Structure 1
Amino acid sequence: MRACAGSRGGFRDLAGAPMRAGRLAGGGGVCLRCAAVYDEGVIKFEADHRVEPLSRARYGDVACKLVAWREVMAKTQLVGQDPARYGGAGYGNVSARVGPPSAPRGARAFLVTGTQTGGKSRLTLDDFCVVERYDYRRNRVVSAGAILPSSESMTHGSIYDLSPHIRFVLHAHSPAIWRRARDLRLPTTDPAVAYGTPQMAEEVQRLYRTSALAERRVFAMGGHEDGIVAFGHTLAEAGQVLICALASAWELECRAV
């Protein structure tokens, strides 16, 4: 069994050999406590992660629902990977609450796509992990699964903390919506606030208090190029909000020609 030491260049075993995040090491559950610091599309929080397979009986159904909507997002280029965008990094992620509605803030467990899965054409349960706890002040996420959590996990957690009514979050990348965010009157985070940080979590909460975010259920990330986030009580609700925003942005682009 191998453990992992975090480094700026990625994850390595105790012998110093590179480890691919998300692959089972030694065939058993392995705990990764890594402070990984990257740029676009990469984890910025301390990941306290147990590498272990997720239960299909427990998570298979909700994972399939997320895969279906992720397919819709991929067809509309809201999720994916493109050498010409973001330095070739994968982009976009989806999640669903899997814990009880009464769970306290910071412990509202959710199933989320793993880091850098944007370029995969089809996901399986091994491409998801469960975020069990998240702590903005300590910039720490506790998770389990065959892959490390999305770099936006802290933002997903902050959205679930807004209301127990919120059960699904879709994080997309849309140049059209992002460019037209002001015209669409979308709530927008401060451009000075970077994605995947404790400050972004706090900024999302500020938007919820001071804007129409609770009613709109979609916002633009001012400091995260093309970043758009939609949420809802159901996947259909979150997906409809996102696709309608995309259609509205495309309509504005058409009128501007």
Structure 2
Amino acid sequence: MEARNSEQEGVIKYDLEFRSTKITEPDFEPKLQVLNRWRSVLWRLGLVGQDPLRYGGLGFGNISIRIRGDAFLVSGSQTGHLSFLSTCDCAFVRDFDLARNSLIAEGECRPSSEALSHGALYDLHEGIGAVVHVHSPEIWQGFEQIGLRFTSETIPYGTPEMAFALQTEANALLKMSSSGVVVMRGHHDGVISFGRDLEDATMVLLSAHARAVKMKSRT
């Protein structure tokens, strides 16, 4: 089943107030090490990356980790081709407003186009410490068979509607577990996961991916 939305991958749709500067947050370096550790797993599996045959050759997928309050570190826009992220490949999101579709960030790289969706999940619950967004045709096409929650195919990525829809679905999942996976039906192949930390958020995503791949192999 194809989403009805036509979209262009990687386009930042939110209002961004960005300051180009070196990130100086005290916890930045250790958080970046953790982010790279789990991102490398996703990158090797092709869930995060860049492929000339997919999405017009643009980078896809992003990953973030909470720093303090609702502020978070997120992989930068169009960094999917990189197997390892350095300090200049990330952005620090200081604040955001879901209703106004706006975000304040700084760093040597602008934040991912999905940064507001990450913010929506941090805003939802203080127990969410990390968010992962990947592109998985297997999960996206087989989500019903493996029983995943999803947002409407009429809701495009990078919008307040998507942010609030993700909160609704994630809130339902939080009643049963500290982590979860939501399929973004209005964002081709888009899947987002969350958890207490990056291990939690990545492992629940990889479990869904394994189930989807297994299901696909049976058809």
Query: Given the superposition, is the C-alpha separation of residues 57 and 162 from structure 1 closer, same or farther in structure 2, using an over 3 Å criterion?
Result: closer
Tell me the distance in 2 between the aligned counterparts of 1:57 and 1:110: 13
- Calculate the TM-score normalised by the size of structure 1: 0.79
Q: Is the 8 A contact 2:121 2:170 kept in 1?
A: no
Q: Flag the structure with larger Rg.
A: 1
Q: Is the 8 A contact 2:74 2:112 kept in 1?
A: yes
2:101 is aligned to 139
SS in 2 for 1:98: strand
Tell me the distance in 2 between the aligned counterparts of 1:212 and 1:123: 30
Q: Is the 8 A contact 1:82 1:89 kept in 2?
A: yes
1:73 lines up with 2:42 in the alignment: yes
Task: Give the partner amino acid of 1:233.
Answer: R
Instruction: Return 5+ residue gaps in structure 1 as ranges.
Output: 1-37
Give, in angstroms, the shift of residue 206 of structure 1.
2.1
Give, in angstroms, the shift of residue 245 of structure 1.
0.7
Tell me the distance in 1 between the aligned counterparts of 2:90 and 2:44: 20
Q: How does 1:216-227 map to 2 (within 5 A)?
A: 217-227=180-190
Identity of aligned residues (%): 40
Give, in angstroms, the shift of residue 140 of structure 1.
0.8
- Calculate the TM-score normalised by the size of structure 2: 0.92
1:45 is aligned to 14
Tell me the distance in 1 between the aligned counterparts of 2:27 and 2:200: 23
1:124 lines up with 2:93 in the alignment: no
Of residues 61, 67, 71, the one that matches 1:98 is 67
1:243 lines up with 2:195 in the alignment: no
Q: Which moved more, 1:109-118 or 1:211-220?
A: 211-220
Task: Give the partner amino acid of 2:42.
Answer: M
| 1:177-227, Cα deviation, whole Å (9 max, x unpaired) | 111101111000010000011110111122234x44653611100100111
1:29 is aligned to none
Give, in angstroms, the shift of residue 55 of structure 1.
2.4
1:207 lines up with 2:204 in the alignment: no
Matched length: 211
SS in 2 for 1:161: helix
Query: Given the superposition, is the C-alpha separation of residues 57 and 208 from structure 1 closer, same or farther in structure 2, using an over 3 Å criterion?
Result: closer
Q: Is the 8 A contact 1:56 1:125 kept in 2?
A: no
Give, in angstroms, the shift of residue 57 of structure 1.
4.7
